[in-house]
Amino acid sequence: MKMSQLAGQRFKETPAECQIASHILMTRGGYIKNVGSGIFSLFTPAKRITQKIEAIIREEMDAIGGQEVMFPVAMPASLWKESGRFDSVGSELLRFKDRGGSDMVLGMTHEEAAVHLVRDAAPSYANYPFMIYQIQTKFRDEPRARGGLIRVREFTMKDAYSFHASQEDLERYYALCYRAYERIFIRAGLPDFIAVQSDSGMMGGKVAHEFMLLADAGEDTLALCEHCGFSANIDVAECIVRTSDTADEPLELISTPGTKTIGALCERLSVTPDKTCKAVMYRKDASDGLVAVFIRGDLDVNEIKLRNYLKEEIHPDTAHEDDVAYGFCGPVNFTAGALLLFDRSLRDARGMVTGANKADFHYKGFSPGRDCPDVEYHDFAKTCEGAVCPSCGKQSVIIRKGIEVGNIFQLGTKYTAAMGMRYIDKDGAARHPVMGCYGIGVGRLMASICEARHDAFGPVWPMPVAPWQAHICALRAGEGDVRSTADALYDALLKSGVEVLYDDRPVSAGVMFSDADLLGVPLRVVISPKTAGRGVVEVVKRDKSLSLDVAAGEAVPFIRGLIQELLGEFTPA
Amino acid sequence: MKMSQLAGQRFKETPAECQIASHILMTRGGYIKNVGSGIFSLFTPAKRITQKIEAIIREEMDAIGGQEVMFPVAMPASLWKESGRFDSVGSELLRFKDRGGSDMVLGMTHEEAAVHLVRDAAPSYANYPFMIYQIQTKFRDEPRARGGLIRVREFTMKDAYSFHASQEDLERYYALCYRAYERIFIRAGLPDFIAVQSDSGMMGGKVAHEFMLLADAGEDTLALCEHCGFSANIDVAECIVRTSDTADEPLELISTPGTKTIGALCERLSVTPDKTCKAVMYRKDASDGLVAVFIRGDLDVNEIKLRNYLKEEIHPDTAHEDDVAYGFCGPVNFTAGALLLFDRSLRDARGMVTGANKADFHYKGFSPGRDCPDVEYHDFAKTCEGAVCPSCGKQSVIIRKGIEVGNIFQLGTKYTAAMGMRYIDKDGAARHPVMGCYGIGVGRLMASICEARHDAFGPVWPMPVAPWQAHICALRAGEGDVRSTADALYDALLKSGVEVLYDDRPVSAGVMFSDADLLGVPLRVVISPKTAGRGVVEVVKRDKSLSLDVAAGEAVPFIRGLIQELLGEFTPA
């Protein structure tokens, strides 16, 4: 490919709407163009990178017996009604009517389509296990698309669905897929991912993992143990906090006029937030019923845990009814009608400050075990920096941001049961197959690689996914043998199977090098009047770790050798 | 791939909804599954075929300088408002609102997205020409989806867009793309296509060609000249008919009670339809104004020609106003308010029968030139079998059905002007680039290949697009050396790079062969107790042109040689 023909423009200015490195560099480098909120077109460099990522994914999916298929983007809503998700999923599911007035959806995931495809195709236990996958466009109507390709509305995703005759077989295959994912991220140049336990969300099922790139630009919050390597999405991470050793004190009503926040309360009484008990109020979406969660003042409620416990949707209470003393609520003598829930952080606490359910008054000396006997404690808290690791028991939890680049779920029979997929088991009984599902967002993976591998001047693409393998810069091509040397090298590299970008434009060295930095090709070959005069070319690595003159006649084998070496850096063990 | 693991079922019964061979065989063979009206999922065999077709398309597009990009499936309506097509295109354009209430469309073609992507990227004449293309899912809300993959609502399409600094350069590139299309269809195993002139429809522009496979299952009607090779879609084919030599007669009012059709009129008066003149009534969509087209009784009005002449949409008149003598209309004394149009077939006619604009009366002896002086004649007729060829002048037009497998359009500046894309020309003037666009439906091409190449038992896939290259059938694998011979051959073929499907199932020869026929793999290798006992395998071509015993030890090189030979059959000259 010659740069003079490459569609797309590169520029220096950071566009106002771009916040994170991958969004900035991939916009400035002519990889992507924003079409609408969370919707992008890809220029050729990005298309080439995604094609290489997809090829890696295909190889690893095929290696674990995957069969590539294709599901529709637009589907009749009837499929989603069969599974129940037409009603249960929120407005991120894009619903519309076709010209005949039929309800349709745009696929944001394809469990229903997968079951529909194979529902009648595997009637016997002997047909199991099998896995089908596709790489296809999806649409998720995100309210807050941002971060370039990190959080979009339309995206290309590899989604795989496995079918099994037993939970044990699913678990065996799940482990296989887990390892395939490790290989994919290593091969794509993202070796520093971690896998974390995660919530299965709207997918259903119990066991799920997310593959995360640790990055400040990430939207997910992760709880990690520095000591034992435990890792979980904060959505599901168990919260264990130590209780400081305090003796019981008598319960005493104190006047705290206008002291409605934990901060104000701590300041007034000179206590630390972990010696307070707060009430966080929610309403159930369906019944509007009030839910009061009592939790230690220094902790936050994890709404995902709360939803999973209640098995229904909730939202923060903004109704502000007259019989609730907002700002002064506590578990003692809470008289308004509400479901009262107690976080585990209160179980062993004593001598705390908490609301007295009366405006401008608190209790001090509150000991939950003494003052609220016979209540159950559950884990409703978001874990935090310094919490106790649920795995090794050390007080070593740290909190980090991550970008989710893949996820795997054990779905169980949620979809096969709802959609009536059955097979006859060895014993002659009809059963529903057990499913797993496995996703990787292709565009987000590309952006994540850019997040992990860039400098101030542009992306530094790993060789296995680089848009081209070598980038020839012909400086002052009109002088001496520059053009003929560059032309000959371009032809020779193409002929030897190397993917080459050739900057043949009559532009300054400054423009040529800054464009090359933005395109991030791992190897650069500079030809100038100076090098041509000496019969050499200059071979430079994009990551600045090499800069070397090579005789023009030996350039092709030298470059090919370097490419092999750089490809080899990303071979899984 | 082993058949025991291949997802999808094959069966004998023709599903009630399937009418044409490709739909029947690809449903029965486990290639496709209907998800909703005009929406299909693809099983692995179909996915593999489409991937091979896409690879051929990519190679040929890249060979003429194409750059692969990716546009969105879902787009903000604002883009389509810029071009004017949000309003001008009918309800086949799927419009919807996203969660924020913004107007969106599903892409049915991507001229707007293409201009949006490169609008700012080619500011100088020196940036031209260039071509960008994608292979992506599209949605067209067809009211009558049918014929399996022939007429669908969701489909995968290669769509290419070229940009030029002059009409001459577009024409040069258009010819290049025409030849690339020829190569694509030949390489995909469809050498018997023809290219026809076509209407540019909603795309705009003047010159357009469609690539057609002649097939009774086709939805397009083509006018071909057996003599000179002229070919055109009937939508645009000029209609030239001979007028039989008749003398003028006096115009005479005759009573024809209840004779409202040409058939009844001809029977009553013992004349042939070409000696009658009928009136075909339309209304303009916008103004509801009446349009009467007078045309020879044996011809039909071509509504596309009529629309193009009027430059507005029309529909058949069903209003039936009182002042129009429906069934007895004619050009003489037509008093109702209407636009009167005369087809060219009337220009030299004499002595005709036509309506007298009075219930139950006709005129005979009508001579348009004498009785309707000073009218203009235009070509509004559908050409027909036996019409005069517009190219060679012989009375040799034949009518055939065809499936459109590709199309190319010279668009001019319709989109670049509407969307404000400009470049600075050599003379310093700002100009709009000239565009061409070039489409191929991937799924329809697959189905068309099946239409062209099948027998009663299944598709006969050409080697370059076959889902696998060789298909091993291990008959009675439990006996003698059958399984070990088949396993060894499977491994050896895989190792040598051959794409093999291995039927390892414990099923009868009947089931195995009928499934193999449905999968249509070009080479079959049969291993049975009989062949294994003699140390041979039986190599059979799917098209029945070869059946040969080959020593087991020589099978791999023999099969590889045959594959090369069969691939070579589809090399363009």
Report the amino acid identity of residue A382: K
Count H helices, E strands: chain A?
15, 31
Please report how many Cα atoms fall inside a 13 Å half-sphere around the Cα of residue A133, on the Cβ side.
Answer: 26
Pairing of strands A470-474, A500-503: parallel
Read off the pLDDT band of B202 (50, 70, 90). Answer: low
Cβ-based contacts of B506 with chain A (< 8 Å): none
Per DSSP, what are the bridge partners of residue A316? A282
Q: At what angle do helices B482-495 and B555-568 cross, to 10 degrees?
A: 50
Tell me if B111 sits within 8 A of B411, measured CB to CB: yes
Using CA atoms, how far apart are residues B286 and B420, in angstroms rounded to an integer?
28
Per-residue confidence (pLDDT) for residue B262, from 0 to 100: 95
A78 neighbourhood in chain B, CB within 8 Å: 36
* pLDDT the model gives residue A169: 97
Q: What is the pLDDT of residue A513?
A: 97
Which residues, 6+ apart, have CB-to-CB distance to B154 below 8 Å?
A72, A73, A74, B38, B39, B40, B137, B138, B139
Give the residue among A130, A132, A129, A151 at the shortest CA–CA distance from A142. A151
If pLDDT is split at 50, 70 and 90, which confidence band does A219 have?
confident
Which of A424, A451, A478 corresponds to the end of one domain? A451
Which residue of A1, A6, A39, A91 to mutate against B (max B Cβ within 10 Å)?
Answer: A39
Do A444 and A484 share a domain, yes or no?
Answer: no
Give DSSP secondary structure letters for B95-136.
EEE-TT--EEEE-SS-HHHHHHHHTTT--BGGG--EEEEEEE
Q: Peptide bond before A572: cis, by omega within 30 degrees of 0?
A: no
For position A209, which CATH number holds? 3.30.930.10
Domains in chain B, number: 3
CATH of the domain at A505: 3.40.50.800
Q: Which of B376, B329, B369 is nearest to B349 (CA)?
A: B369
Is residue B100 within 8 Å of B125, Cβ to Cβ? no
Counting one residue from chain A and one from chain B, the pairs whose CB atoms sit within 8 A come to 177
Q: What is the pLDDT of residue B410?
A: 95
- Which residue range is the domain that position B546 belongs to? 468-568
Residues A152 and A260 in one domain: no
Mean pLDDT, residues B285-305 taken together: 93
Tell me how far apart the alpha carbons of residues B194 and B222 are, in angstroms, rounded to a whole number: 10
The length of chain A, given as a count of residues: 573
Across the interface, whether the CB atoms of A96 and B96 are under 8 A apart is answered yes
Residues ≥6 apart with Cβ < 8 Å to B138: B73, B106, B107, B108, B109, B154, B155, B156, B157, B159
Query: Do both A525 and A474 map to the same domain?
Result: yes
Q: Residue A319 above 80 pLDDT? A: no
Binary contact (A137, B132; C-beta < 8 A): no
Residues of A in Cβ contact (< 8 Å) with B34: none
Which pair of structure tokens corresponds to residue A55?
Answer: 């090829």
Asked if A1's CB is within 8 angstroms of B67's CB, the reply is yes
What's the pLDDT score for residue A217?
87
Please name the member of B7, B69, B121 whose beta carbon is closest to the beta carbon of A67: B7
Does residue B44 share a domain with residue B177? yes
In the structure, what pLDDT confidence band is assigned to residue A337 with cuts at 50, 70 and 90? confident
Strands A352-358 and A314-316 come out as unpaired
What gap in Å lies between CA B356 and CA B291, rounded to an integer? 17
Helix (H) or strand (E) holding B370: helix B368-371
Would you call B44 and A98 a contact, using CB atoms and an 8 Å cutoff? no
Length of chain B: 573
Of the residues A378, A394, A424, the one at which a domain ends:
A378
Q: Which of A378, A395, A430 is the last residue of a domain?
A: A378
Q: Which of A364, A405, A135, A122 is nearest to A259 (CA)?
A: A364
Percent share of chain B, pLDDT over 90: 86
pLDDT of B88 over the 80 cut: yes
Please report whether residue B418 resides in a domain.
Answer: yes
Query: Taking a C-beta distance cutoff of 8 angstroms, is the pair A177, A162 a contact?
Result: yes
Judge whether A450 and A25 are in contact, CB under 8 Å: yes
Question: A20 with A37: CB under 8 angstroms?
Answer: no
**B44/A132 touch (CB, cutoff 8 Å), yes or no:** yes
Reading the block at residue B179, the tokens are 């030849």
Q: Radius of gyration over alpha carbons of chain B, in Å? A: 29
Residues B365 and B439 in one domain: no
Looking at residue A226, its pLDDT comes to 87
Residue B441 sits in the same domain as residue B489: no
Test mutation, B67, B82, B501, chain A, max A CBs within 10 A: B67
**Rounded CA separation B452/A421 (Å):** 36
pLDDT, position A321: 75
| Residue B458 resides in a domain | no
Q: Based on the fold, state whether residues B482 and B434 are members of the same structural domain.
A: no
Nearest to B325 by CA among B411, B253, B218, B227: B253
Q: Given the structure tokens 């009047």, which residue do they identify?
A: A529
Collapsing DSSP states into helix, strand and coil, what is residue A384? coil
Question: Per-residue confidence at A102, pLDDT binned at 50, 70, 90?
Answer: very high
Residue contact A7–B98, C-beta within 8 A = no
* Averaged pLDDT, B407-424: 96
pLDDT of B206 higher than 80: no
Average pLDDT of A556-566? 97
Alpha-carbon span A570 to A183, nearest angstrom = 9
Contact across the interface for B44 and A91, Cβ inside 8 Å: no
DSSP letter assigned to residue B165? S
Q: Is residue B387 part of a domain?
A: no
Q: What is the DSSP letter of A357?
A: E
pLDDT tens for each residue of B229-260: 899 999 889 999 998 878 889 999 999 999 99
pLDDT of residue A236: 87
Residue in A closest to B156 by C-alpha: A72
Structural domain includes residue A431: yes
Answer yes or no: is A458 within a domain: no
Q: B436-487: per-residue pLDDT in tens?
A: 999 999 999 999 999 999 999 999 999 999 999 999 999 999 998 999 999 9
Give the mean pLDDT of chain B: 94
Chain B interface, mutation test: which of A117, A135, A144, most B Cβ atoms within 10 Å? A117
Among A9, A69, A94, beta carbon nearest to B121: A9
Considering only the beta carbons, identify the residue of B41, B75, B132 that sits closest to A117.
Answer: B41
Q: What does the pLDDT average to over A445-451?
A: 97
Residue A534 domain-assigned (yes or no): yes
A464 neighbors A189 (Cβ within 8 angstroms)? yes
Q: Would you list the DSSP string of B474-493?
A: ETTTTSTTHHHHHHHHHHHH
Would the CB atoms of A5 and B46 count as touching at under 8 Å? no
Which of A7, A48, A78 is nearest residue B132 as measured by Cβ atoms?
A7
**B62 and B168 together in one domain:** yes
Inter-chain contact B94–A99, Cβ cutoff 8 Å?
A: yes
d(CA A153, CA A137): 10
Q: Which of the two residues, B337 and B176, has the higher pLDDT score?
A: B176
- Find out whether A529 and A480 touch, Cβ atoms under 8 Å: yes
Whether A39 sits inside 8 A of B75 (CB atoms) is yes
Q: Write down the H helix ranges in A64-110.
A: 77-83, 85-88
DSSP symbol at A186: H
pLDDT digits (tens, 9 = 90+) for B116-174: 999 999 999 999 999 999 999 999 999 888 889 999 999 999 999 999 999 999 999 99
User: How many angstroms away from the CA of B134 is the closest CA of chain A?
Assistant: 9
Q: What is the mean pLDDT of chain A?
A: 94
Per cent of chain B over pLDDT 70 is 99
| CATH number reported for the structural domain that contains residue A265 in this entry | 3.90.960.10
Q: CA–CA separation, B84 vs B203, rounded Å?
A: 11
Residues of A in contact with B106 (CB under 8 A): 74
Say how far residue B306 (Cα) sits from the centre of its chain: 22
Backbone angles phi, psi at B290, to 5 degrees: -80, 140
d(CA B395, CA B316): 31
- B231 in a structural domain: no
Provide φ and ψ at A380, rounded to 5°.
-115, 5
**Contact present, B460 and B546 (Cβ < 8 Å):** no
The pLDDT, as a whole number, for residue B257 is 94
Contact A98 B42 (CB under 8 A): no
pLDDT tens for A152-206 read 999 999 999 999 999 999 999 999 999 999 999 999 999 889 999 887 666 566 7
Rg (CA), chain A: 29
Same domain flag for B446 and B476: no
Classify residue B361: in a domain, yes or no.
yes
Helix axis angle, B167-187 relative to B44-63, nearest 10°?
A: 140
Q: Are residues A159 and A288 in the same domain?
A: no
Q: Are B160 and B279 contained in the same domain?
A: no
Q: How confident is the model at residue B200 (pLDDT cuts 50, 70, 90)?
A: low
**Strand-pair partners of B364:** B252
pLDDT at A229: 86
Question: Does the pLDDT value for residue A522 go beyond 80?
Answer: yes
- Specify whether B440 is located in the same domain as B373: no
Rounded CA gap, A516 and A45, in Å? 12
